[in-house]
Amino acid sequence: MTRGIGWYVHHQGAGHLQRARAVAAHLHRPCTVIGTLAGFDTAGLDILDLPDDRPLNDGDDDGAGFSGQDGEAERPETFHYAPLRHPGLRVRMARIAAWVERTDPALVVVDVSVEVALFARLLSVPTVVVRLAGDRTDRPHREAFRSADRVLAPFPEALEAPGTPDWVRAKTFYAGFLGGDAPAARDGDDIVVVFGRGGEGGDFAALAAAARSVPDRRWQVLGPVRGRGEAPPNLHLHGWVPDVETYLAGAAILVGGAGDGLVALASAAGKPFVCLPEPRAYDEQTSKADALARLKAALVRPAWPAAGDWPALVREALSLDRTAIARLHDPAGLTRCARFLEDLAGR
């Protein structure tokens, strides 16, 4: 029987699971997706569902509850998150260990968790640790990378952070963006704004003001939006949609954060991109946005622009050289990544 691959996915945002699903479809051996998967679409996947390890909202049997800080003063410096007395954390590690003992995986991909990466190494399983953008030079990240057979960057090498140590670069396989199929290539007239699962969403008042300032274009807004009011006729709020690519195909301009999924879509479609990086740990989105600006692949602003700035911003975005962002897309990225993992698993 062919030994399988485990793929651990973090539950912050939807990008980790989307990445695992996209690569798994190109693998020629079994792949089990591991993580806290409640609320996510896992149809068609072999999964190992884990209990949540985030702070508990309710008290336990003795009423003590869990704040997320238990044991933090004594947390080993090689961990990011290792609370004491958390039943969910205990059960999830036990389930991972039982799955490893039962299935004897050839490889575990960890996207992302320092603790799971080090735990898998303690279970004597070869690992590939996913390294996201940003400053990942703190001690826990360094030790996770050191423990791994290889490190996988789900972005092109052109977006590498300048301060990444040489030994980490040498250990890294640059897979490029690992998204789904590229949207149909055609020009549209819409401004498409995308808010992902990992952030706070959009602000209705700011969106309405922006749409009024550029009244000759439809504003198609995907994802969560806070607040409501009287919307101008060219503002359309769609909430969560299963077909982001369909809306993107009709876009003249794409607006959104610097998450991997959205940057990958902008690159695959070769669309003018107004990038508004959101606050993330380790400056993940800021670092990526800085690289896009350096390459002249996107217009980058630190926050949602004022309503009066949008007309000039739209004109500037439409004048961008689209080839700068389009050349970041590797149509063979998923195949290359799958082959890389298959080769490691086959050792």
pLDDT value at residue 276: 98
| Domains of the chain: residue spans and CATH | 5-179+331-345 (3.40.50.2000), 190-326 (3.40.50.2000)
pLDDT value at residue 56: 66
pLDDT value at residue 59: 43
- 3-state DSSP of the chain: CCCCEEEEECCCCCHHHHHHHHHHCCCCCCEEEEECCCCCCCCCCEEEECCCCCCCCCCCCCCCCCCCCCCHHHCCCCCCCCCCCCHHHHHHHHHHHHHHHHHCCCEEEEECCHHHHHHHHHCCCCEEEECCCCCCCCHHHHHHHHHCCEEEECCCHHHCCCCCCHHHHHHEEECCCCCCCCCCCCCCCEEEEECCCCCCCEEHHHHHHHHHHCCCCCEEEEECEECCCCCCCCEEEEECCCCHHHHHHCEEEEEECCCHHHHHHHHHHCCCEEECCCCCHHHHHHHHHHHHHHCCCCEECCCCCCHHHHHHHHHHHHCCCCHHHHCCCCCCHHHHHHHHHHHHHCC
Residue 90 has pLDDT above 70, yes or no: yes
Residue 332 has pLDDT above 90, yes or no: yes
Residue 179 has pLDDT above 80, yes or no: no
Give mean pLDDT, residues 45-64: 72
pTM: 0.89
pLDDT value at residue 180: 57
- Report d(CA 70, CA 325) in Å as an integer: 45
Give residue-wise pLDDT tens across range 95-126.
Answer: 999 999 999 999 999 999 999 999 999 999 99
> In terms of pLDDT, which residue wins out, 299 or 60?
299
pLDDT value at residue 108: 98
φ and ψ at residue 279, rounded to 5 degrees: -65, 130
pLDDT value at residue 185: 61
Give mean pLDDT, residues 65-71: 59
Give residue-wise pLDDT tens across range 33-47.
Answer: 999 999 899 999 999
Give mean pLDDT, residues 152-177: 96
Bond from prior residue into 112 cis (ω within 30 degrees of 0): yes
pLDDT value at residue 110: 98
- Name the percent of the chain lying above pLDDT 90: 81
Residue 66 has pLDDT above 70, yes or no: no
pLDDT value at residue 13: 72
- Count of CB atoms within 10 A of residue 238's CB? 14
Give mean pLDDT, residues 263-286: 94
pLDDT value at residue 119: 98
5 - beta bridge partners?
Answer: 31, 107
- Report d(CA 256, CA 9) in Å as an integer: 23
Reported as a pLDDT band with limits 50, 70 and 90, residue 183 is: low
Residue 342 has pLDDT above 80, yes or no: yes
